[in-house]
Structure 1
Amino acid sequence: MTDTIRIETDDRGIATLALARPEKHNAMSAEMIAELTEAAATLGADPGVRAVILAADGATFCAGGDLNWMRAQADATRAQRIAEAKKLAGMLRALDTLPKPLIGRIHGNAFGGGVGLACVCDMTIGTDAVRMGLTETRLGLIPATIGPYVAARVGPARARAVFMSGQRFGADEALRLGLLSHCVEADALEFTVRDAAEAYRDCAPGAVAAAKALLRSFAPPIDDAVLDRTANALADQWETDEAAEGIAAFFGKRAPAWTD
């Protein structure tokens, strides 16, 4: 039984893994991170699953980090912050290395960690209403844990255009950057995503898994050392005056001092 996600598998082996906190804009809590990690292991080990659709309930794909999770990080010790960052990193790696095709069904807003989720998909299909952004620097933080997956998805040169600016951008820019593979009208999203998933039924599942693993081996490894580096970089940033001011301003619903 899960509280923050929903898993459904049809009789053709197409599984839908949906974020199911629509009232919270599918923001990622510690519980959701744990449930997504477990779901990736379960779906990856199920021989009846041929492809996985990563989707979300409600109007928003994923707004990033849950507010209560953010408050907890603000009050945590360095060791606790590193531990939580590693849990998020482990979840992203579990989805990234899923031995099944992972197709992102992206709609509405995808900010911060929501962009990270899109980046671990093999294909992302969105609508023209999609809004994305790596918004961490607006809070005095950095997109550390999701960073390796953003760089792997769009390449360092394209990442530079959005990685530090905190700007929000639409579907056209997401397509140009490579965060979206395809963009369709809202009423065509479900059919297009299902059609993409169904195409893998014509492929040998073992060959698909081997091809995916081989392709990943050509890129710089996102290994334990990389994940440790990102967790420590994020912990370093949490300890700065900028992070303290950014988080205080966010919860105080005011502009941070650096905007004056």
Structure 2
Amino acid sequence: MSDFSTLELIKDPRGFATLWLSREDKNNAFNAQMIRELIIAIDHIGADSSLRFVLLRGRGRHFSAGADLAWMQQSAALDYNTNLDDARELAELMYNLARLKVPTLAVVQGAAFGGALGLISCCDMAIGASDAQLCLSEVRIGLAPAVISPFVVQAMGERAARRYALTAERFSGDRARELGLLAEAYPAAELEQQVGIWIDNLLLNSPQAMRASKELLREVGHGELTPAIRRYCENAIARIRVSPEGQEGLRAFLEKRSPAWQSEPSNKEPRP
């Protein structure tokens, strides 16, 4: 879909994209170029109305080892204002990923350290290998998980985030599932098969309804019952019932047939 040096953005003919972190020789560690390219890639994804959902993955053994050592060495020599610019760039990436209108699914294997937990937390859903190793490692090198912290707290809870940010303990994919950071954890040998099952399941759903549901849940937030939220929810269901996909879904259900969005194109390609 576009040319990148640190990423691959691949569109599947079935209507979804996979955004691959692709610095395999550096264990997909972040640097300034990757952050900038991720921002551009997310802009491309957001502008593509044909996409149903997006997978975020890492090439090779690891999802991402966190910040690149060479990049961190360069940052250490910069003044406060230049470091602030770097932080704002990283924040733009995290907030843009969290605000994407299409559903996002992170797939985690191997190591996921530091800022990688931010990417995982910004996605709507995440699955991973049971033996994956995750870590909020910043305090070990004299830093703090500052930019990613709101997203990590939302994903795994304040108490757990406090523990792992202060101790820098590594924890497994199984533990990440217990904390809610991962929706499911699977044996590493089964992960690719499970990714296919998740893809097939998401392809059953109305693309418009998934986008509408994501927007709805963002607006509802923690579920506080207010008059404004009540009106928003009432309007949301009325809008989607009269929408083309809403009408098609209801007709298909009543006529006991598959809705139009479940028909796959004839040029279906094998999964990467």
> What is the TM-score when the length of structure 2 is the normalising length?
0.77
For the 8 Å contact 2:132–2:173, the answer to whether it is kept is: yes
Q: Does 1:123 align with 2:143?
A: no
Aligned-residue offset at 1:203: 2.4
Aligned-residue offset at 1:119: 0.6
Task: State how far apart, in whole Å, the 1-side matches of 2:17 and 2:197 are.
Answer: 13
Instruction: Give the one of 152, 155, 160 matched to 1:153.
Output: 155
Q: Which amino acid aligns with 2:25?
A: E
Q: Does 1:34 align with 2:36?
A: yes
For the 8 Å contact 2:109–2:128, the answer to whether it is kept is: yes
Q: Specify the alignment match of 2:63 in structure 1.
A: 61
Gaps of 5+ in 1: 221-260
Gaps of 5+ in 2: 223-272
Give deviations 1:65-114, integer Å, cap 9, x for gaps.
11122112101111111110111111011111111111111000000011
Instruction: Count residues with an aligned counterpart.
Output: 220
Q: Which amino acid aligns with 2:187?
A: E
Aligned-residue offset at 1:171: 1.8
Which SS does the other structure have where 1:150 is aligned? Answer: helix
Q: Specify the alignment match of 1:80 in structure 2.
A: 82
Task: State how far apart, in whole Å, the 2-side matches of 1:194 and 1:94 are.
Answer: 26
Q: Specify the alignment match of 1:203 in structure 2.
A: 205
Aligned-residue offset at 1:159: 1.5
Aligned-residue offset at 1:192: 1.4
Task: State how far apart, in whole Å, the 2-side matches of 1:219 and 1:159 are.
Answer: 19
Aligned-residue offset at 1:172: 2.2
For the 8 Å contact 2:29–2:65, the answer to whether it is kept is: yes
Q: Specify the alignment match of 1:22 in structure 2.
A: 24
Aligned-pair identity in percent equals: 38
Aligned-residue offset at 1:27: 0.4
Give deviations 1:204-254, integer Å, cap 9, x for gaps.
22221222122123338xxxxxxxxxxxxxxxxxxxxxxxxxxxxxxxxxx
After TM superposition, the structure 1 = structure 2 runs for residues 217-232 of structure 1, keeping only pairs within 5 Å, are 217-219=219-221
After TM superposition, the structure 1 = structure 2 runs for residues 101-112 of structure 1, keeping only pairs within 5 Å, are 101-112=103-114
Aligned-residue offset at 1:62: 0.5
Which SS does the other structure have where 1:129 is aligned? Answer: coil
Residues 194 and 14 (structure 1), Cα distance of their counterparts in 2 relative to 1, 3 Å cut: farther
Aligned-residue offset at 1:48: 2.0
After TM superposition, the structure 1 = structure 2 runs for residues 208-247 of structure 1, keeping only pairs within 5 Å, are 208-219=210-221
Q: Specify the alignment match of 2:48 in structure 1.
A: 46
Give deviations 1:37-71, integer Å, cap 9, x for gaps.
11111112212211111001111110111112211
Aligned-residue offset at 1:175: 1.2
Relative contact order higher in (CA < 8 Å, ≥ 6 apart)? 1
Bigger Rg, which one:
2
For the 8 Å contact 2:131–2:173, the answer to whether it is kept is: yes
Task: State how far apart, in whole Å, the 1-side matches of 2:175 and 2:188 are.
Answer: 18
Q: Does 1:89 align with 2:112?
A: no
Q: Which amino acid aligns with 2:133?
A: R
Q: Specify the alignment match of 1:167 in structure 2.
A: 169
Q: Specify the alignment match of 1:250 in structure 2.
A: none
Q: Specify the alignment match of 1:3 in structure 2.
A: 5
RMSD across aligned positions (CA): 1.4
Which SS does the other structure have where 1:8 is aligned? Answer: strand
- Of 157-166 and 60-69, the range deviating more from structure 2: 157-166
Task: State how far apart, in whole Å, the 2-side matches of 1:148 and 1:210 are.
Answer: 23
Which SS does the other structure have where 1:164 is aligned? Answer: helix
> What is the TM-score when the length of structure 1 is the normalising length?
0.81
Q: Which amino acid aligns with 2:194?
A: T
Task: State how far apart, in whole Å, the 1-side matches of 2:213 and 2:36 are.
Answer: 27
Aligned-residue offset at 1:199: 2.2
